[in-house]
Every structure is written in C-alpha cells, then in structure tokens.
C-alpha cells in the first residue's frame, strides 16, 4: 500500500496505484476449505456427480431448516431458478418488477415472453416502492416480483396486501438476501416462493447455484419436476421442464459455506462498521444503513455520491478510484429499462422511474469480504477523503492534461478481456 496525502500522488496523474493488487467487489467468500475438499473426495469416491445426489439432498435439507421453510429446491444458478419459479407459479402477461436489479430478474420473465413492467424504488432502501406498484396493475398483470436488493427486505407486508387484494402471485428475487430477516423471520418464507442465487460473488455461494424456497407443497412438487425435464420417476415425463439441477460439487461448496456462515457474517459486519464510521465523516458520500434490528449478511458496502455536494460525477469519482486499483462497481448501472431489449420496447420508461434514474447515477459499491482487512478499509477511506476534499484542484488538473474519462472505460474493457 502506497500512502498518499496530496493530489499529485494520485495514480490518475500517472503515479503508482495505492494498492499493488486490484481490490474487487465480489471476491468469493470461501467457507470451510478442508470440509469442502473432503466432500469433493467423497463425491469422487461415490461416483455420483449430479442428478439429485446425496450432497444436494443434504444441502436442501439444511437450507430449508436454516431458512425455516418447508421446501428448498436447489438449482444450477439463480437465473434458471427464477425462470422455473416464474413458470411453475403460472405467471403470464405482465409482471411488475423493479428496474433497479440485476438484468437476470427481468430477463427471467422476458425469456418466457412475459412483459416486465418496471416499477420505481424507494430512494432510501433501493427496493420496489409498493405505492407505485398499484398504479401499474392492468388486466394483464398476473404477479409482482420484488427484489430484496443488497439484502434489504422489500416492504413485504404492503406487497402481500396488494397481491392478495388483486389476486396476484407474489414472488421474491432474494438473490442478495441469504441470512437476512424481515420482522425477525428469515427471508425465504414469504410470498408464493422466493429465489436465491448462490453465485460465486454472493454472500453464500455454491460456485454457481441457486435455490427456490416455498411453503407451498403443490408448487414445490411442480418445481421439482420442472427442474428435471419434467421427469416423474425413471422414464416418465409428465410436464414440460428444463435442466435446472445443481451438481454435487456445488452442493459440497454450499455445505462448507454453511458451516462458516456466522464467521462470514462477522467479517462482513466488522468491515461494514469500519466503513460506516469512516464514511460518516465524508460529507459527499452516504452509506446505505442496514436495519440493525434485523439479521443481515452485510455483503454489500453500498454508497451514494452526493453530486449536489461534490463537483465530481459518480463516474469521474470511480475512475479515480480504479486508477488506485480500488475497483468500485456501479451496480446496477444503467437501470434494466435502459438495457436491451427493454430500452427499445419501452423507450420512455425512465419518465416513471425518477428514483431509479437518480440512484443508478449515484450509487457505487466498495470492496469488502474476507480478503479486505480493516487497514485496507481505512486506507480506502483516507483516499476517498483526499479525493473529495480536493475535487476542484483534481478537476482543473485533469482538464489541464486533457483527460477525457478514458481511463475507466479502458480499464473496464481491459478488466473484462483479462479477468485475473
């Protein structure tokens, strides 16, 4: 780590980055490594690698217990799990969904020719705003798909009331919300079904993976059929299905992750507390506060740059951080309504999504997790303070050297062509 205390030291002006190694958002949490390797050996000995093997069954059982739900159906990833949950629930026509989410959420609908109707978010919590939902209901609406963004629960009570009153299905994309609670109850048991992603970057990971959880026996049975081509028994297909199965090695990773879950939360929470204390003294940055009365996985350090307080745009600011090897991310930028095919289908959607537009222009995530130490966080925050308290000087210097936001764009494309 190179300590920097003046503008000329910043890497954007050609000096060495503050951090020798790139600091990523989304470095995987690795659970009990020994346990995982032991499981993998057992899987190889078993010669049972997939198709509802013993490790998948064990994981499903443990997850259902952990979440306090009747049924947990493991899947190969969160996107396929969403597609299956949507299909099994009988959604069609239009489904109301936030635009402020990962593109997989609306894609899982559109993939089945169901129209995602984008709804605005609450600017404080970044989750779907129930007050806006009701205005979007039409005779074609069959459901609401809420997303517990950053592990912040949706206003489940209000959404349940609206769904019940209008006879709509209610599903949740809980990809970010494993081990988070709502009114003291684990996310997982709400609505008709909830869907998790266990992708490598998620709080709880199975390398790739996901799960659908529900308390509805009939729905669970249908989902089990659908994720295995519709097979009922060995040779009998009774339903249209796909291949949504989780493999045994992924399940082993899940079991090893589950062993370590309280330690992972502790690391994340400690990192979050340090960030929160440090960022509280930086006027242009607001950190998203998690509700301390609920369980939370603290997987994301979500900040907003107050562009009314600093002359930097969020992208200029991020560019300066990237030069220092702090790879802050702009999740979810742009909103899904500004990505294809949606921007062609609904070119004016942004007019109804002012909070989404504002948040997508301001939000950035900072690195956290097992690989980020408290000292690293303090150094990141010290650099942020240096940058933001010298914004005018930095902007003038950048203008003088004819800098045109190219670094970030180049770094991004370089990053994606050479991932490690």
Footprint of ligand T4K (CB under 6 A): 24-28, 77-79, 101-102, 104-105, 147, 173, 175-176, 197, 199-201, 210, 327, 331
7 vs 200 by CB, closer to ligand T4K? 200
Instruction: Compare residues 199 and 227 and give the one whose CB is closer to ligand T4K.
Output: 199
By CB neighbour count within 10 A (0-12 exposed, 13-18 middle, 19+ buried), where does 182 fall?
A: buried
Question: What whole-number distance in Å separates Cα of residue 352 and Cα of residue 132?
Answer: 9
Q: Which residue has tokens 């989410």?
A: 101
Report, in Å, the least distance between residue 174 CB and ligand T4K: 8
Q: How far is the CB of 203 from ligand T4K (least distance, A)?
A: 11
Question: Shortest gap between Cβ of 78 and ligand T4K (angstroms)?
Answer: 3
Contact 353/118 with Cβ under 8 angstroms? yes
Instruction: List, in order, residues 6 or more apart from 234 with CB less than 8 Å away.
Output: none
Closer by beta carbon to ligand T4K, 159 or else 398:
159
Q: How far is the CB of 370 from ligand T4K (least distance, A)?
A: 11
CB of 85 to ligand T4K, least distance (A): 11
The residue among 282 and 377 lying less far from ligand T4K, judged by its C-beta, is 377
Q: Are 159 and 131 in contact (CB under 8 A)?
A: no
What's the min distance (Å) between Cβ of 77 and ligand T4K? 4
Provide the minimum distance between the beta carbon of 264 and ligand T4K in the complex, in angstroms, as a whole number. Answer: 15
CA dist., res. 172 & res. 339, Å (int) = 22
β-pair type (301-305, 285-287): antiparallel
Pick between residue 18 and residue 25 the one whose CB is nearest to ligand T4K.
25
Nearer to ligand T4K, 171 or 398 (CB): 171
Burial (CB count within 10 angstroms: exposed 0-12, middle 13-18, buried 19+), residue 348: exposed
Instruction: Give the integer Cα–Cα distance in Å for 85 and 259.
Output: 27
The DSSP symbol for 245 reads P
Strand 210-214 relative to strand 193-197, pairing: antiparallel
Nearer to ligand T4K, 152 or 175 (CB): 175
């Amino acid at each position: 780590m190179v300590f920097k205390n003046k503008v000329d030291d910043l890497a954007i002006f050609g000096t060495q980055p503050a951090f020798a190694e790139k600091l990523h958002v989304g470095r995987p949490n690795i659970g009990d490594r020994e346990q995982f390797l032991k499981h993998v050996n057992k899987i190889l000995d078993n010669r049972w690698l997939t198709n509802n093997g013993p490790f998948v069954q064990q994981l499903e059982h443990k997850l259902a217990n952990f979440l306090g739900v009747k049924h947990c159906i493991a899947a190969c990833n969160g996107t396929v799990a969403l597609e299956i949950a949507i299909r099994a629930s009988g959604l069609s026509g239009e489904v109301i969904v936030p635009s402020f989410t990962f593109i997989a959420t609306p894609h899982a609908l559109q993939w089945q020719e169901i129209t995602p109707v984008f709804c605005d978010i609450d600017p404080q919590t970044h989750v779907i705003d129930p007050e806006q939902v009701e205005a979007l209901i039409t005779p074609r609406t069959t459901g609401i798909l809420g997303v517990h963004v950053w592990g912040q629960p949706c206003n489940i009570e209000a959404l349940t009331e609206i769904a019940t009153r209008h006879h709509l299905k209610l599903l949740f994309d809980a990809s970010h919300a494993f081990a988070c609670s709502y009114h003291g109850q684990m996310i997982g048991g709400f609505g008709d079904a909830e869907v998790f992603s266990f992708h490598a970057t998620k709080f709880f990971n199975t390398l790739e993976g996901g799960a659908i959880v529900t308390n509805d026996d009939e729905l669970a049975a249908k989902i089990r059929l659908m994720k295995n081509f519709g097979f009922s028994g060995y040779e009998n297909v009774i339903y249209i299905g796909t291949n949504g199965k989780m493999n045994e090695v992924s399940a082993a990773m899940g079991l090893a992750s589950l062993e370590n879950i309280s330690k992972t939360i502790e690391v994340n929470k400690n990192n979050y507390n340090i960030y929160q204390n440090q960022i509280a003294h930086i006027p242009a940055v607001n950190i998203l506060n998690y509700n301390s009365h609920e369980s939370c996985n603290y997987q994301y350090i979500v900040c907003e740059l107050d562009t009314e307080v600093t002359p930097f745009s969020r992208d200029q600011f991020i560019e300066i951080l990237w030069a220092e090897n702090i790879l802050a991310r702009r999740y979810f930028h742009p909103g899904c309504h500004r990505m294809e095919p949606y921007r062609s289908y609904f070119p004016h959607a942004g007019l109804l999504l002012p909070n989404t537009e504002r948040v997508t222009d301001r939000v950035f995530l900072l690195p956290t997790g097992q690989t980020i130490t408290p000292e690293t966080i303090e150094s990141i925050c010290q650099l942020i303070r240096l940058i933001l308290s010298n914004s005018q000087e930095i902007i003038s210097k950048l203008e003088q050297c004819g800098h045109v936001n190219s670094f970030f764009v180049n770094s991004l494309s370089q990053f994606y062509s050479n991932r490690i």
